[in-house]
Amino acid sequence: MSDNNEGFGSGILRGLKKVLFTSGKEEEQAVPSTAAVSVKSPENEPLRPVDAEQFAGDPGGRDMKLRVYQLLENMNKPGVDFFEVWNAAVEMGGTNISNIKSAYTSLKFADKSLSKAKLLESGASYMAGLKSVIETESHKRLEEKSRLEKEKEQVRSGLVAEISGLEQQIASLQERLAAKKMERETIEEKYEPKITDIDAKITAGRQSVSIVMNEMQQVLDIINKELN
């Protein structure tokens, strides 16, 4: 808001912020649950500010609502219009019919150009501005969401492929492990007959050599005894 509103607009967000951060009985007194501001847009659609109790118990929601109020303050045009009447009504205790009428009557003294038509036009203009901003921001957020979802799916696909490859390797290793275990179980069956056969041949060879050597010894004994 410009300096043209000095005296009426100082701390223009004070009333709106007070509604946002009051709680309990203070909040009930500041903004009655049935209070509402009804204006008409150029398309004759009924519009109204967000219920002050909507974000109760939600610090994140309150922060966002405060940012919206601050955005409105930045959008506020010179002179007295919807924004000042709205804020003044909140300062008076809430946006009910009586307070809105009183705010309008009081502020009309400060700015003779203030009229019902100006309130409707400026209110609709602020709402259109907010809608444009939120649409732009939402579009950016949706693009970011789309990027993250695409990245998520790429990571998921990569992990699925990697897991599948590891599972195949594990399955192959399990098959090889089972084959090796089976091979281990057949070692005795494969080698023991050959080993036994070798032992038998060694025993038979020694026995045969012993017999032959005994025969040879008998011959040597005869030669030694009987020959001159």
Which pLDDT value is given to residue 75?
A: 87
| Nearby residues of 126 by Cβ (< 8 Å), 6 or more positions away | 72, 75, 82, 83
Which pLDDT value is given to residue 153?
A: 96
Q: Does 59 fall in a domain? A: yes
Q: What does the longest C-alpha to C-alpha distance in the chain come to? A: 167
Whose tokens are 């009309």? That residue is 108
Cα→Cα distances 82→67, 76, 170, Å? 19, 9, 71
Q: Which of 143, 172, 204 is the last residue of a domain?
A: 143
Residue 99, pLDDT above cutoff 60? yes
| 191-212 pLDDT tens trace | 999 999 999 999 999 999 999 9
Which pLDDT value is given to residue 79?
A: 86
Which pLDDT value is given to residue 74?
A: 86
Look up the domain containing 16 and give its range: 3-143
Domain total for the chain?
2
Q: What mean pLDDT do residues 19-39 have?
A: 38
Q: Which of 143, 176, 205 is the last residue of a domain?
A: 143
